[in-house]
Amino acid sequence: MNSRKERNQPVKTESIVTAGPIERFAPGTVTAVPSGQFYLACLADGSLLALSRTCTHLGCSVPWDEEKNKFICPCHGSTFNLTGEVLTAPAPRPLDIYPVRIENGIVKVDTSSVQKRDSFEPEQAARI
């Protein structure tokens, strides 16, 4: 029998955002996906990471600076590299990520399942 606590748990549903066809993402680039409030980072080997745009310091929205090739938080100056790792504090940890899957050449991201991490590991990135 379910306890009252279990019954009151909200049902977690997937929230899939379609980011586009895989060819749209070139190695070494970052593409903003405004509808999902995340960035799609395409790493040098073509694998894909969906990065939250929320700074892990105090939650400001972090823009990608294409010229400087890094994310630069406007609030307190934290910077993050292409894989979301911290280059400059005060951010305490890398940008959070969302699961990415590639179905029939279309990149899809589950924005209902944010994942915190301590560092970048290659297996976090999705490949065809």
Rounded Cα gap, residues 73 and 54, in angstroms: 9
Does 60 help bind ligand FES (rule: CB under 6 A)?
yes
Does 30 help bind ligand FES (rule: CB under 6 A)?
no
In the numeric block, which tokens belong to residue 76?
Answer: 């307190």
Does 87 help bind ligand FES (rule: CB under 6 A)?
no
Rg (CA), the chain: 16
Query: Which one among 57, 86, 97, 98 touches ligand FES, defined by CB under 6 A?
Result: 57
Query: Which one among 55, 82, 100, 125 touches ligand FES, defined by CB under 6 A?
Result: 55
DSSP 69-127: TEEE-TTT--EE-TT--EEETT--SPPPEE-EEEETTEEEEETT--B--SS--GGGSB-
CB 50 within 8 Å of CB 99:
yes
Rounded Cα gap, residues 103 and 93, in angstroms: 30
Does 63 help bind ligand FES (rule: CB under 6 A)?
no
Does 114 help bind ligand FES (rule: CB under 6 A)?
no
Query: Which one among 18, 32, 76, 122 touches ligand FES, defined by CB under 6 A?
Result: 76
For ligand FES (CB under 6 A), the number of binding residues is 12
Q: Of 78 and 124, which CB lies nearer to ligand FES in the complex structure? A: 78
Binding residues (CB under 6 A) for ligand FES: these are: 55, 57-60, 73, 75-78, 90-91
